[in-house]
Amino acid sequence: MRKVELGKTGEKIPILGQGTWGIKSRKGKDYYESWKNSLRRGIELGMTHIDTAEVYGFGTSEKIVGDLISEYNRDDLFITSKLFPMHMSLRTMKKAASKSLKRLGIKNFDLYLIHWPSPFTSREKQMKILDHLVKEGKTRYVGVSNFSVDQFKESVSFLNTDLVANQLHANITKQNHVSESLPYYQKNKVTLTAYSPLGHKGYSNLEGEMRDKLNSVAKAHDATIQQIAVAWLINHKNVIAIPKAFKIEHVEANAKAAEIILSEKELKLIENTEAS
């Protein structure tokens, strides 16, 4: 698995990680074991960055990830989680972070993000908790998620440490963050982490010009359109992606996408194409 630098930290992480959005609460043992088996296969293939959040399954995702990572050497994995913006005081934010660590069964996050800009809490207070967690050794790196470039810039002004990443909804049918925001992150050596890189349905119903172009590129690389969609993202500098996969065959297909190198012509072919 190809690795790239996280922000300007010097730390190398897989260009493809594993997302866990969608893990549901109150399900049976077989359901959770299927998730774990998929994550295990991803780790075997080098997708050692696992992304979760306190809000996913109301803590269930973190518990499942925690159970899984207890099987591995902690230093071999890179774990990201996220703070939901419902917490309005430093005390409740600290408590939420501690609960996430407890569910995960780890002493510190590798990367901890503010999940969304808060409509209730000042940007300064949201950044203060990140500074506190770094100072206390509860996280190695910090970042944000779903922040606009202007919100990101404002956040930086309140921090004593670097924001190394912004996790954003980006894919071939939602290209605005790549075309409009990515140049700023590239210039400032910030990692754009693309979530839902295959949308929510894996582009099984994709039609029109976009599908035609993906088919053309896929044929040239002996790949599927889904693999080309993922490759398109991670062939951009400063972009990594965290696809989720409930089935092992999908995990394996995602991992193969990391090996695909697209030409500038192929990148431009897909860029700004209308999808239907």
Question: How many domains are contained in the chain?
Answer: 1
Residue 24 is assigned to a structural domain of this protein? yes
Residue 268 is assigned to a structural domain of this protein? no
Task: Specify the pTM.
Answer: 0.96
**CATH code of the domain containing 255:** 3.20.20.100
The residue segments making up the domain with residue 252 are: 3-204+233-261
Give CA–CA dist 83/93, Å, rounded. 8
Residue 221 is assigned to a structural domain of this protein? no
Residue 215 is assigned to a structural domain of this protein? no
Find, among 36, 48, 41, the residue nearest to 74 by Cα.
Answer: 48
Q: pLDDT tens, position by position, for the chain (276 residues)?
A: 999 999 999 999 999 999 999 899 889 999 999 999 999 999 999 999 999 999 999 999 999 999 999 999 999 999 999 999 988 899 999 999 999 999 999 999 999 999 999 988 899 999 999 999 999 999 999 999 999 999 999 999 999 999 999 999 999 999 999 999 999 999 999 999 999 999 878 898 899 999 999 999 999 999 999 999 999 999 999 999 999 999 999 999 999 999 999 999 999 999 977 665
- Contact by Cβ (8 Å): 68, 32: no
| Terminal alpha carbon distance of the chain | 32
Q: Indicate the helix (H) or strand (E) that contains 254.
A: helix 248-257
Q: Indicate the helix (H) or strand (E) that contains 204.
A: none
Residue 211 is assigned to a structural domain of this protein? no
Residue 58 is assigned to a structural domain of this protein? yes
Give CA–CA dist 174/214, Å, rounded. 15
The SS3 assignment for 158 reads coil
- Contact by Cβ (8 Å): 214, 172: yes
